[in-house]
Amino acid sequence: MLDHRIDTFLALCDCMSYRRTAELCHLSQPAVTQQIQHLERLYGRKLFSYESHKLAKTEAGILLERYARAAKLHELALREQLEDKRINTLRVGATKTIGDYFLEDYVCRFLRDERNALTLIVDNTEHLLKSLEENELDFAVIEGFFDKDSFDSILLRREPFVGICRKDHPFAGREVGIDELLRETVIHREPGSGTRAILEQELRGYNESLQRFQRHICVSSFRLILDLVRRGFGISFVYNILADSDPGLAKFTIQGERVVREFNIVYLKYADVRGKVSALFGGAIA
């Protein structure tokens, strides 16, 4: 069992306030301070410091946090094994492209075994990474960017990132220049989504941004985005697997290099989740 002081340490990492940590852990503020000082003596390093009167983690504190969160995940897995449950439950997150258009076959294969159960959370990249940090998920399958100092990953698939428009749009089947592109209405995902982050990165390569389009529309639902594009309300950018799911759409590319991005299985650094990953994806991973 992990030292109870680790729970206090992680609570302080989350809220970065001794007063708030004391409230969350039902401790006095001096007790929180004493527990953190105990850990600092144990590891021989300062875990927190004040910078301009604001609490901050030291490098040692950041490293201990990564180990501690992974250790909490290991402890949960151990408890599950010791309980000798007859049901094997996975807690998986997926971004919307992957959850809605890619995982179905894997989920069906996993659930055909009546000893398996699944909690699948479909959300944007930012929220999924936060859930991983809080040990609410075993792993997440994302197509967006993530901090490789905080998370490890397994490559699942590489997928082209393409523009979509209605079938009779002048862009259909073409390579389009950036000036021509910006005269269109663009329909994109909300902040925090992987596809939006990738689109914004590509635009920065041309020294442009979403705000430079004639008009931009933010929609969090891919199904609605596809419907709006099919009805001629604008263009959008999605993964090829999603573009191919709707026969009413045509694809186009921006002039320049072909954009290909990774679908990654992401998990806490130092966590050992390969067994759980293999249970869902089998031979699809190395």
Encode pLDDT of 63-108 as tens digits: 898 888 888 877 776 676 666 667 788 999 999 999 999 999 999 9
> What range defines the domain where residue 63 resides?
4-72
Beta strands 139-142 and 116-122, pairing class: unpaired
Please give the full DSSP string across 31-84, using - where no structure is assigned: HHHHHHHHHHHHHTS--EEEETTEEEE-HHHHHHHHHHHHHHHHHHHHHHHHTT
Instruction: Check whether residue 57 and residue 135 sit in a common domain.
Output: no
CATH number at residue 275: 3.40.190.10
User: Percentage helix, strand, coil, to 5, in the chain?
Assistant: 45, 25, 30
User: Cα(79)–Cα(77) distance, rounded to whole angstroms?
Assistant: 5
> What is the number of other CB atoms lying within 10 angstroms of the CB of residue 82?
8
Instruction: Check whether residue 242 and residue 162 sit in a common domain.
Output: yes
**Statement: residue 112 has pLDDT above 90:** yes
Instruction: Check whether residue 124 and residue 243 sit in a common domain.
Output: no
Count of domains forming the chain = 3
Instruction: Check whether residue 40 and residue 176 sit in a common domain.
Output: no
Encode pLDDT of 272-281 as tens digits: 888 899 999 9
Encode pLDDT of 133-183 as tens digits: 888 999 999 988 898 888 999 999 999 999 999 999 999 999 999 999 999
CATH number at residue 64: 1.10.10.10
- Using alpha carbons, select from 245, 278, 277, 257 the residue that is nearest to residue 100: 245
Instruction: Check whether residue 151 and residue 270 sit in a common domain.
Output: yes
Q: What is the pLDDT of residue 83?
A: 66
Instruction: Check whether residue 46 and residue 59 sit in a common domain.
Output: yes
User: Which residues, at least 6 apart from 130, have a Cβ–Cβ distance to it below 8 Å?
Assistant: none
CATH number at residue 231: 3.40.190.290
